[in-house]
Amino acid sequence: MSVEAWLQSLFIVVFLLFIPALLISGIRKIYKIVVLILTVPLLCIASVGLRTEKVLNSVQVDNNRYHLVFFHPWGDNYGNCLLYQCNKNDLECKEIHSYAGVCWSVESSQLEVNPNTNEINVFIDEEWSDDLSLEFTYGTQPRAYLDKAGLNGYDYYLAYFHDYDTLHTPFTYMLYRCEKDSTNCSRLPFRYDLDHLPHVYLELDEQSGEIKVLIENELIYTYSSTPQCHVEGCSLTNE
């Protein structure tokens, strides 16, 4: 917990102890009411102040700046990471609503730009490891990553996109093949739309070299030299 958070917490504790002491004190009732009216707003301000923000990383792409911002209440060492797009002077900013991830540490995070596509990649530290993992890509096709499998020198990512700003839009599942640095990625021929976000994962068959997409333990798609869909609604497209 930061020094600022400790001071804010101490401020609130003092207020919480002060209020009952005030109520049982012998001063006139009208003075008690006046003091309470003055102290309650200060307590609210202190509570709001405990939700602190910190810019973790920033990158410039053309005329826009992108910031990965860490929000954490009560000085905890973890919280939500949000991605913002701003103009080059940081005077106008908007949150990219298709991404909100959990940051386990304010020390480990990274934004990287793919110079070939101008996509912004968000890397966040894993919960039980010091390694950074690819969490989200913002660009022509924004996407969050759900699972990863390594095969023949490539990493295969199961990803999805959902427009949280628009009602009744599907969760679109996709498969990407990336180089080991997780920057140069290409979309593979697979698309599957659902109206919710269930448990999904990749399964690797090293003998056959197949990568399988499963949703709620049901085989949806197999990627190999001859990709194949196994359920209705799955399509062999990279658009």
Q: pLDDT grade, residue 48 (50/70/90)? A: very low
**Mean pLDDT throughout 173-186?**
88
- The confidence band for 6, taking pLDDT boundaries of 50, 70 and 90, is very low
Spatial CB neighbours of 221, under 8 Å, sequence gap ≥ 6: 175, 190, 192, 212, 213, 227, 228, 229, 230, 234
211 contacts 225 by C-beta, under 8 angstroms: no
pLDDT at 176: 96
Least confident residue range of 41-50, 144-153, 156-165: 41-50
Which uninterrupted H or E stretch holds 46?
helix 29-49
pLDDT at 182: 73
Across 3-17, 31-45, 106-120, 125-139, least confident range? 3-17
- Look at residues 49, 69, 85 and tell me which one is the last residue of a structural domain: 49
Query: Is the per-residue pLDDT at 155 higher than 80?
Result: yes
State how many domains the chain has.
Answer: 2
- Dihedral Cα 97, 101, 103, 108, nearest 10 deg: -80
Confidence of residue 236 (pLDDT cuts 50, 70, 90): very high
Q: Which positions ≥6 away from 101 have C-beta within 8 Å?
A: 80, 81, 122, 124, 135, 136, 144
Rg of the chain on CA atoms, in Å: 24
> Which structural domain range is residue 17 located in?
3-49
Residue 64 lies in a domain: no
Q: Report which of 186, 185, 179, 193 is spatially closest to residue 229, judged by C-alpha positions.
A: 193
Count of C-beta atoms within a 10 Å radius of residue 216? 9
Query: Does 146 reside within a domain?
Result: yes
pLDDT in tens, 214-235: 999 999 999 999 999 999 999 9
> In which band, very low, low, confident or very high, does the pLDDT at 157 lie, cut at 50, 70 and 90?
very high
- Asked if 53 contacts 103 with a C-beta cutoff of 8 angstroms, the reply is no
Domain assignment of residue 129, yes or no: no
